[in-house]
Each structure stands twice: as C-alpha cells, then as structure tokens.
Chains A and B, each alone.
Chain A
Amino acid sequence: MIDYIIKLRRKSRSIFTDRWVWRMAWRDARHNFSRLFLFVASLITGIAAVVALDSLNHSLQQDIDNQARELLGADLVVDGDYPYDAAQQKAFDTLDIEQASQVSAASMVLFLHNQQSRLIRMVAMEGEFPFYGKIETLPDDAYELMKQGGYAMLDETLASQYSVSSGDSLKLGEKVFKVAGVVTKIAGGGGLMSTFTPSVYISMQDLKATNLIQFGSRVDYRYFYKVGSETRVAEIVDALAADFRSEGYSFETVERRKEGLGRGFRSIYQFFSLLAFVALILGCIGVASSVHIYAREKRDEVAVLRCIGSSGWQAFNIYFIQIFVLGLIGSVVGAFVGLGIQQVIPLFIHNLIPFEMSFTVSWKSLLMGISVGSVVAILFSMLPLVSVRFVPPLSVLRSDYTAQRVFSKTRLLAIVLIAAFPIAFATWQTRSLVTGSIFFLGLVTALCILTLVAIILLWLVRRYFPHNAPFIWRHALASLFRPNNQTRALMVSIGLGAFVISTLTIVEKSMLSQVEFTGRENQSNTILFDIQPSQREGVIDLIKDHDLPVHQLVPIVTCRIAELNGRPSHELQQDTTDNVSNWAVRREYRVTYRDSLHHSEKLIEGDIHHTSDGRDSIWVTISEGMVDNLDVKIGDSIVFDVQGVLVKAFIGGIREVDWPKDPPNFIFVFPTGVLEYAPQIYVVSTRVDDQEAASRFQRALVMDFPNVSLLDLRLILTTVNDLFDKLGLIVRFLALFSIITGLIVLAGSVINSKFLRIKENILLRTIGARTSQITNITLIEYAWLGLFAAATGMVLSLGGGWLLMKFFFEITFAFDWVELLVITAGVVILTMIIGWWNSRDVISTPPLQILRKET
C-alpha cells in the first residue's frame, strides 16, 4: 500500500539566480585553473593572431588615408609613354595650375669611384615637385643642389649597395654627375619599387646631355599638377581624361591612389586574414578539444552531483561559468598580446611598403578580439559541455556505464552555430560574403581532404600491417587503431599546421624558380636592350671580345593595336559589355619577327605561316595568356599601328610560352618579310658566369654604348631572394600562430588519449615491460602519428600549392623535396617531443601507483 502522496515542487533556477552553481563553479575552479591551461592558451594564440592582424589592417588603412596625398605628391598625375603634343600642353596651360614633370627611363649607371655599374631607373625632374610632403635627403640640401644641374641623387639602397657617398661621381649615358646625396623619402618611390629598380635623380636640364632618350627607348613621362580642391580635380578629369586616355595616358588622383593602395593592401590583408583565420579555427579546435578533456575529467564528479540531486543544467552551468569567465580572461589577454604583436609586425615589413607606418592602437580591434574570443569560448565549449548534462548518475556505481545518446536541442543548436561561425567570422573579416564563404569552403575542403588522406593512410597501414616487425614497432603501429583513439583528429590538426607551412614553402619556391633559371647551363642570364641598329655590330663585337656567347639577337618593333576584328581600339575601350580587357588594347606591344619557334615556346594551336611576298596575308602568332585578354581565336584580324603605319594581320597560331626561360619572349611574333623596314631596336642575350667578367663587361658596355641597358638576371635573383627573406620572415612569424595553436591542439589530443594509454602501459609494465621499452613504444607511436600527419599535410600542400600557382599566381609550380622533407622531419620530431612530454609520468611511474590513482 502506498501511503505517501507527495507533490514534487521542483523549481528550475536560471544561471543568474542559482547561487549554488556560482559557488560550486568557484570551489571547483580553485583547483582546476591549471587544467584549463590548454583552453586559455588556445584562445590566447587564436585571438592574438586575429587582433594583431586586424589592428595592423586598421593602422595601414589609416596611414593610407593620411598619407595618400603625400604619396602622390600632387592632386593629379598624368602618365604616358610620350611627351605632350602642343594641343595637350595647351589644354593644361589654360587651366592655370601649378605643374611639375618627370621623365624616367631604364638606364645603366657607372660609379666612377669603384667602376661598378648596374641597371637603374633614371628620373629627370622639373618644377617644384612634390606639391605635398617633401623629398627627404641626406644631406638636407641635396635636392636644391641637384636642381641647379650637374648633380645627381640616388636611392638610399643603391647608395649603400655600391658604397656611394656625397661628392662621388657617376656616369649616366654620356654625362658625368657629382653625387649630391641620397634620397630617404620621395613621393611615388621607396618600398618594393626601389628594391627592384633603384632610381637616380637628375635635373631635367641635364637630360639632353645624357643622350639616353633615343628611338625605341622605353620612356615614361609624368606630369604633376597642384589643383587645390578635390572638386576641381574631378572637373579636370571629367573634361580631359577621355581624350588623353585614348592617346594612352592615364590619370591618377589622390582618391584613386587611396583606392589603389587600399586594393593592394586588401590582398595582403586577405592573405593575413587567411592566416589569422587558420590560427583562430585551430584555436577553436583547441578550445573544443581542451574543454572536451575537461568535461571528460569531470564526468565522475558530475555523476556524484547528479546522484545527490543536481539537475543536468545545474551541472552544466557550473562548468559553463568557469569556461565563460576564463574565456573572457583569455580573450582579454589574447587581445592585448595581439596589440603587442601588432607593434612588432611593422619592423618586419617597413621596407616593403612605400609609406611610413604608425604605431597606432586600434581599440576597435581590441574590442572585436575580446568579443570574438568570448563567442569562441562559449560556442566551441558548448558541444563538449552539453555532454555534462547527460552524464548518467548510474556511472557512480559503474564507471564504464554509458547511457544511450539523447537528442538535445542545445547540442543541435551548438552544431548549427559552430558551422555558421567560420562563415560569419570570415565574411565579417573580409567584408565579403563570397570571400568569407570561399575561406570557409577552403577550410572545409582542406579538412575533408586531410581526413580522407588520413583514412587512406590508416587503411594502407592496416592493409599492409608489418606482422613480422619487432614487437615494439608492431605495438606502436597498432596503437594508432586503439578504440576511441584520436589518431584521425590528431592527423587532421597536425596535418593542417604542416599543410600551412609546406604551402608557404611551395609558394616561395615556385616564385623563386621563376628567376632561378639563370643557374641552368646554357641559359641566358644577361639581357642587353635598347640597342640601336647602328650599334648592333659594335655590341656583338664587344660581347665576343669578352669571350661571351651571343644566345639571341632579336629585333624589336614597338606598335599598338588600332583595330581588333574590325572594331577600332577606342570603341573597344568604351564598350563595357565585351570580354576584351581595356589595358590589353591600350598598351604598347614590343613584337619581333621570325619564322620559327624559340625553345621557350610550343605551338599549341594553328600554324606558323610564312609570308613570301607583300601580297600575302600576314599571319602572326600570339601567346596563350593573351588570347583571353584580347578575346581572340585563330583567324581573327588585328590591325597594328606600327609607328604610324597600319599593318593588318591575322591570328595564325597560339604559342605556349615559358616566360622565364631564356628571355626575351614575346606576346606577338610576326613572320619575316613584314617588319624588316620598320624602325626597330635590338635585344641581345648572353650568359656571364663569372662576377668579375660580368663587372668588366658591364663597365665596357657603359663606356662604349651608354644608352644600352643591361639587365643582370642574377641580380634579380638575389633581389627576389632578399625579398623572400623579408616576406618569409613575416609570413613565418604569422604562420607561427597556426603552428603554436596546432601544437596546443596536439598536446590536448595527446592528453585526451592519455587515459587509454595509462591502462595499456600499466598492463605492459605489470607483465614485465621495461621503462625503455614503453618509452620506445610511445616515441615510435608518436613518430608514426607525426609522420602520417606531416605526410598528409605535405600531400595536401602539393595539391593546394599547384592550384595556387596555376590559378592565383599563374606561374609555374615548383617545389623542393628537401625543404618539404625537412618540414616533415620537424613536425615528426615536435610531435614525438610533445607526445613523450605528456606521457612521461605514465611511462616512469610504478604501475601500482597508477593503479591506485585509477581506482
């Protein structure tokens, strides 16, 4: 008989009103802060990366906005390949605005004090440029001295490279100048530009005396205007730009410069964002992984609490409060660490950008970092913490008891939000849903492929298991398939880190390989250009006198496109609906003529036609890459304006060109018998292996043929190497975030599987395994794990790198096996060290002690 009639009056209390959960959260946390170290560390690294890069971006944008006018030096700049004609000059003269101008061209400079020479950009200046900002020189009066005539200034990098100081002499073309000083800051200069082609500045009045501007020389004419108001700039551009553009001039305004710089840096920022995104996602994995470990450790205590009457939500809230508070602390610390790092990054990149970077602190980024950190802490701990709600109280009696999986709305919501978070974050960071989605898809694809490769590798090991291998090796390998093992998750997280590093190496190697051809035998490494027809024989004799080979002697004719398939170029430029790129129609082409393919070329479509007499149609070949830009196919017609003479030609063949291989290479190649009488210059390529011979030859060339320029491809290789040293440093510095977070994830995963390892090791030690044997088993297991993970990352990076090279950088894919193997070895060693470090107490403690702990 049932005598009790009691109504249950259970009241649900929210997290805010239930004091008990706060009290329990504090009591429990007093002893658990160290256990949540991995959680906080993951969060700090992830958030630090995001804040550092976001703050850097804000700082860069601010600097661009503040310095755009100083960077341009004027309100309006008109740029073209020819000087103004009388009408064009008149159009600007009537505006009554202040004007300055520059003429620049590639040229050789000879430093008389040490007889060394190199290719530079000669800049002849006239007028009171710059109108905004100022040219900073050492000594201060160098610019004033230069303007007087007879003096030259040079970029700081060039001066230090060739040990040039004020008072030394240099020869430009046919004129000798005294060095007035070095330029430390100039509008439009500095940054990467000065790394590749450093400039020498002279006064316009000295230009004629150099005799550098000759027929066929590539000369750039720039006109600077001080207008005053932005409205007037817009009016002038509206009134004149269309006519000037049809003549091949471009207009640059402060607004456009801001946009251009912004666009340029957006690409860099997006790259940085990608690194930050990877670091944050790894941080998220770290958070989820560490909270998973924590929740697992708390399982027994939760079961006790459930036994004595705590509800599932109460148990959940205890740990949620701990995670939230620690997450907030971690986010704040991470955000401040990020700000600290942001102050360091400019030290790495200040040489690569054309303006001064300020060390500003972006409070917006700081707040963003704290908010994102808190969201990450809550979101990514939700899934493992939800499991706390469903810990069966029966597990106090049976520790191995597992309840049936319960459907949970909270769990479902957490999964949906976790899936949405990377898209939302990437979209917000890149300010574009498309880019954000691409980031997300890229990540998902990478994770899927990593998982797939991991599964295949594990399957292969299982399929071809070395049954005859020694015990230790077999046992270590078999450990990878331990039930509930984290092998796949570990391989994915470590593999992702290896993937990032390997991909960066492949990008670097591919870019370097574009210029490394100079190392190959029988390839040209020195190009002489701007050779006038009258100088042709003399230059060849000079080459032969220095016992150097003449690899190529190529005539070059400059021309423009006047019509494409019957449509005039100006009409094509105005048409916004066609697929023809305006720049491709507007640009000047340097073409050559020959009846055969160069060894850097392959005919992939059509034929090479020969023109036998003047009445035949002219069939030219075009490089593959230009086909899309001009939207042409075999048989299409192009009318070329060859310095005033219109020449109608048809596309006869399409060539695949290996551009870096034995330059020069060409977009259009005419047949012989068409351009022989057109005004032309020559390019000669040769190979010089010895630095001393190269210096001797360059000196002689500058003395005998001052207008002929020489491009030393070995110098470019050195420059690109230097550039990559600088870029590589910053990229590796940022990739470090991903790697550190990856290592935290690894440590977390190792700890996660520690419980299983403990039991196995106890058994092995009980039945007589020595410490050294267990240590070896552990090390070998982690070596396998690291090897599989690194191999997975490497395989993926080869694929990813190939895609990047093919579709993004559009250069030839290259990689170095040795570098990739070094990375693989590094990952393996790191994995072994971390694995061993986390397992060392399990390895070295007597079995009874552990057995006691376990019970």
Chain B
Amino acid sequence: MSKVVLQAENLSKVYKSADKELVVLDHISFCVEQGQAISIIGPSGSGKTTLLGLCAGLDTASSGTISLMGFKLDAMGEDDRAYLRNQYVGFVFQNFQLLSTLTALENVMVPLELRGEKNVSRKAEELLARVGLADRIQHYPTQLSGGEQQRVAMARAFITDPRILFADEPTGNLDEENAEHVTELLFNLNKEQGTTLVLVTHNLELAQRTQRILKMRGGRLTDDSGQQLSVIRSNVTK
C-alpha cells in the first residue's frame, strides 16, 4: 500500500468575532498518498485556501487533526511546524512571494541555507537553469516578469526535494503562455521528483490534470473524484 503523507480528520475551522461564529471549514476528512497530485476546487469563500493553509501547518484547526508526514500538526509548536515545512514541504503561491531584497539565486538558495547546508549555489543555479532562468540569476524580483518570478518561486520550492508541494493558484497571476509554461514545469518536476502535489485552483483545466479533485462548497467537502470519503474514514479508524 502507498504511504499516506497527508491526512485530515474531522477538520473544522471557526473564526469568532464579537458575537458570531463563522464556520470556514466544517468537519473535513481526507488523505493524500505519496506521489499523488490532487487539486482542491470550489467557488470563492468555499474554504479552499484555508484548507491548504491548515494542511501545510500555516495555521491550526479549531478542531480535528492533521497529520503531515506522520506528524500531528496540532500538537506541534509554530517553530516546529516551520522546521517540518523546511524539511518536507514546498510552496508555490499565486503572488510568487519572492523576497524582494534578494536576487533570484539567493531566493532559491534560502531554504537550503536555512537547513545549514553549504555550497548550495550550484544546486540553485542548476534548478534555475532547469526553469529557463540561467541568465537571470543575479536579477532582483522587480527586474523579472511575472512568469519569471513564478519560475524562480518554483525553483525555490523544489530545491529541498520536498515530499509534498502546496500550490495556491500558481497560474492565477500569469498570462496564458506563461501559465502553460509554469504548469508544464510543475507537473514535470512533480513527476521527476515523485513529489506529492496539492493544488488549489479555480482553473478546471489545470485541476483536471491532477489525479484527484476535491470539490468544496460552504466549507464542506462535497465531492472527491478519486476516493470515497467513507473509505478514507474507515482506513483512518483502523
């Protein structure tokens, strides 16, 4: 049986304001196996991004549990979760989220440097060449186009050979041509490195390229194209 890298169980997220509660996620359960590519789709406000944030340990759930690489995230502190992300997780964001004061090369090197690894520039240069930016490594983000910035972000995401990659609308800010280029890169790298891919998108075309689609509405998981929810639950309780 394949290894489960991500497992959500009865996951809820509630935001409390003065006198009312806003339920953003309502008892979500699912699991993702290693190497699988899944997409989460749904209308705005359905809870996709919140779910992604919780799965990646960027926030904690109001109730329920999430296990990432076997670690129960809700039992971990903020810094431990950050360390876990550095070891096993990669990110690609809609707004690229590059560090504006660092060059493309430095942006890519940062995750490995954080691990304390030395001589990481060669690997970063190789990855930048892989995404077609060999001649842009000393450029700052403001000197790069949107597509180029997203490719730097992908190089940064893949430099740690992550077990799982979370991507939030990776093509949302790109034109068609760049979007296509980035999508190709994303799936190729995913395939080459055996990385699990969790993708949040509005783009149905993009979603259909993944093996499994989770549909969300009003904070609930309404459809799972790849697996029956009941099966997942029974696996979890075993």
On A, residues with C-beta under 8 Å from B are 1-6, 8, 10, 20, 23-24, 27-28, 30-32, 300-301, 303-314, 392-394, 396-398, 855
What are the 7 closest A-B residue pairs judged by CB atoms, nearest first?
Answer: A309-B86, A4-B70, A311-B79, A10-B83, A3-B3, A394-B58, A393-B58
Q: Give me the interface of B with A, judged by CB distance under 8 Å.
A: 1, 3-5, 7, 49, 52-53, 56, 58-59, 67, 69-71, 76, 78-80, 82-87, 91, 93, 95, 97-102, 106, 110-111, 113-116, 156, 168, 235, 238
A23 to B5, CA, bound (A): 33
B49 CB contact (under 8 Å) in A30, A32, A397: A397
Which of A2, A10, A31, A855 lies in contact with B101, CB distance below 8 A? A31
Further pairs besides A4-B5, A20-B116: 6, Cβ < 8 Å: A4-B70, A308-B91, A310-B114, A311-B83, A392-B58, A393-B59
- In the complex, what distance in Å separates the CA atom of A301 from the CA atom of B106? 14
B52: nearest chain-A partner, CB-CB: A397
Shortest distance from the beta carbon of B55 to any chain A beta carbon, whole Å: 12
**Are A392 and B59 within 8 A (Cβ)?**
yes
Among A20, A305, A306, A312, which residue has its beta carbon within 8 angstroms of that of B99?
Answer: A305
Determine how close the nearest CB of chain A comes to the CB of B122; give it in whole angstroms: 17
Check B101 against A28 for contact (C-beta < 8 Å).
yes
Give the residue among A300, A306, A309, A392 with the most B Cβ atoms within 10 A. A309
Q: How far is the CA of A394 from the CA of B53 in the complex (A)?
A: 6
CB of A312 within 8 A of CB of B91, answer no
Contact of B111 among A300, A309, A313 (CB under 8 A): A309
Distance in Å: Cβ of A268 to nearest Cβ of chain B? 48
Min CB distance B140 to A, Å, is 8
Closest to A2 in B: B70
| Nearest chain A CB to B134 CB, angstrom units | 21
A129 to B5, CA, bound (A): 100
With CB as the reference atom, state the residue of chain B lying closest to A5.
B70
- In angstroms, Cα B78 to Cα A335, docked, is 41
Known pairs A23-B113, A305-B99, A309-B82; A396 contacts B93 (CB<8 A): yes
- Specify which chain B residues have a CB less than 8 angstroms from the CB of A310 in the assembled complex: 82, 86, 114
Q: Are B52 and A306 in contact (CB under 8 A)?
A: no
| Dominant secondary structure at the B interface | mixed
> Within the complex, which residue of A8, A308, A394 is in contact with B156, where a contact is CB–CB below 8 Å?
A308
Residues on B with beta carbons closer than 8 Å to the beta carbon of A394: 53, 58-59
A310-B82 Cα distance, complex, nearest whole Å:
6
Report the separation of the CA atoms of residues A306 and B76 in the bound assembly, to the nearest whole angstrom.
Answer: 15
- CB < 8 Å: which of B1, B7, B97, B116 contacts A396? B97
State A327–B112 Cα separation when bound (angstroms).
Answer: 30
A165 to chain B, nearest CB (A): 71
Q: Which of A2, A10, A23, A306 contacts B67 (CB 8 A)?
A: A2
- Whether A309 contacts B91 in the complex (CB less than 8 A), given A392-B58, A396-B58, comes out as no
Cα–Cα, bound, A5→B3 (Å): 11
Contact B59 A30 (CB under 8 A): no
What residues of B have a CB within 8 angstroms of the CB of A27 in the complex? 101-102, 106
Chain B residues near A24: list those with CB within 8 A: 110
Contact of B82 among A23, A31, A311 (CB under 8 A): A311
Residues of A within 8 A of B53 (CB): 394, 397-398
Question: Given the complex, which residues of A lie within 8 Å of B235, measured CB to CB?
Answer: 1
User: What are 25 A-to-B residue pairs whose CB atoms are below 8 Å?
Assistant: A1-B235, A1-B238, A2-B70, A4-B69, A4-B71, A6-B71, A10-B79, A10-B83, A27-B106, A30-B101, A304-B97, A305-B99, A306-B78, A307-B56, A307-B85, A308-B86, A309-B82, A309-B86, A309-B115, A314-B114, A393-B58, A396-B91, A396-B97, A397-B58, A398-B49
* A679 nearest CB across to chain B (Å): 88
Question: Quick one: closest B residue to A302, CB to CB?
Answer: B99
CB of A312 within 8 A of CB of B97, answer no
CB-based contact A309/B102 at 8 Å: no
Once A309-B82, A309-B86 are accepted as A-B contacts, the answer to whether A3 and B99 lie under 8 Å apart by CB is no
- A20's partner among B3, B78, B101, B113 (CB-CB below 8 A) is B113
